[in-house]
Structure 1
Amino acid sequence: MKKMYYQITIDSPIAHVFKTMLAKETYKQWTAAFNPTSDFEGSWEKGSKIYFTGVNKEGEKEGMIAEIAEHIPNKYVSIRHYGILDKGKEVTAGPAVEAWAGSLENYTFNDLNGQTLLMIDVDTNEEYIDYFDEAWPQALKKLKDICEAN
């Protein structure tokens, strides 16, 4: 497992960036860089189960199952992934999840005199490094555009 790092400075206050990043409609907009049908089901509250979903080429729902390991409003969110959705069914054990179960995705928000420095660190497998290096910067640019437009 390799830890990847991404960051962006957004010309908007932390509270606005935090809310925009996690709100249902705007979440779907900025995460479209990963999957055009990207969505989530569940809560961002600490200890909550959350599904990160999308629709595959066959029209079936798939995605990741995770727990919100930490949620400190306007400061930090940590997501611990532990399973997948395969054709709408939960899979939490076996070869499909063993390679990355327990991986973390962390969001840290820092104030830069009214601007927000958003830092992401995410655990990934070698096979996703190129994909993340392409998708994360696109997603963060979209989030920046949404935040700065509103």
Structure 2
Amino acid sequence: MEKLSFEIEINASPEKVWDVLWGEITYRQWTTAFTEGSFYQGTLEEGSIVKFFDPNNNGMYSQVEKNIPHKEMKFLHLGEIYDGIEVPKDWGEATETYFLEENEDGTKLKSEIQTPVEFKGFFEDKFSKALGIVKNLSENQL
């Protein structure tokens, strides 16, 4: 398992950044950095299962381990989805966590990812771009 960390300063409130991260329309916008047409289904309540899809009905499913609005969101990734069918994976503690910390300039958004080594390059290539889109949306949308 590889631990990766990314962070970005955003000139917007934690509430605004949170809304960009998890709002239905803005989620689809910033996740284009990973896969064009990405979306999620389910609720983001602690303990619930959320499914992350690409336009071809493939993706992954995860459990919401922590949801502290405007501060922290943590997912435990459980498996992959192929043509809409869930396939459990033994990834151990494969997690994705978002931390929002208010400061005098706005918000520091930090993401920590525990990922199997085969996904490390993908995240290293794509995650900073995704956070840049979150920054742009947070600072420039009404």
Q: Same fold (TM over 0.5)?
A: yes
How far the C-alpha of 1:83 sits from its partner, in A, is 1.4
Match among 143, 146, 149 for residue 137 of structure 2? 146
Unaligned runs of 5+ in 2: none
| SS of residue matched to 1:51 | strand
What's the counterpart of residue 28 of structure 2?
28
Query: Pairwise mapping of residues 104-143 of structure 1 onto structure 2 (< 5 A)?
Result: 104-143=95-134
How far the C-alpha of 1:114 sits from its partner, in A, is 4.7
Unaligned runs of 5+ in 1: none
| SS of residue matched to 2:125 | helix
Detail structure 1 runs of 4+ shifted over 6 Å in the superposition. none
How far the C-alpha of 1:116 sits from its partner, in A, is 0.4
Aligned identity (percent) is 28
Give the distance between the partners of 2:107 and 2:12, measured in 1 at CA: 6
What's the counterpart of residue 38 of structure 2?
38
Encode CA deviations 1:47-101: one digit per residue, 9 max, x unaligned: 111001103xxxx311111010010011111101111111111112xxxx22x24
Does the Cα contact within 8 Å between 2:93 and 2:114 map onto a contact in 1?
Answer: no
Query: Pairwise mapping of residues 79-90 of structure 1 onto structure 2 (< 5 A)?
Result: 79-90=75-86
Does the Cα contact within 8 Å between 2:10 and 2:105 map onto a contact in 1?
Answer: no
What's the counterpart of residue 71 of structure 1?
67
How far the C-alpha of 1:44 sits from its partner, in A, is 1.0
Q: How many residues align?
A: 141
Q: State the superposition RMSD in angstroms.
A: 1.1
Q: TM-score, normalised by structure 2?
A: 0.95
Q: TM-score, normalised by structure 1?
A: 0.90
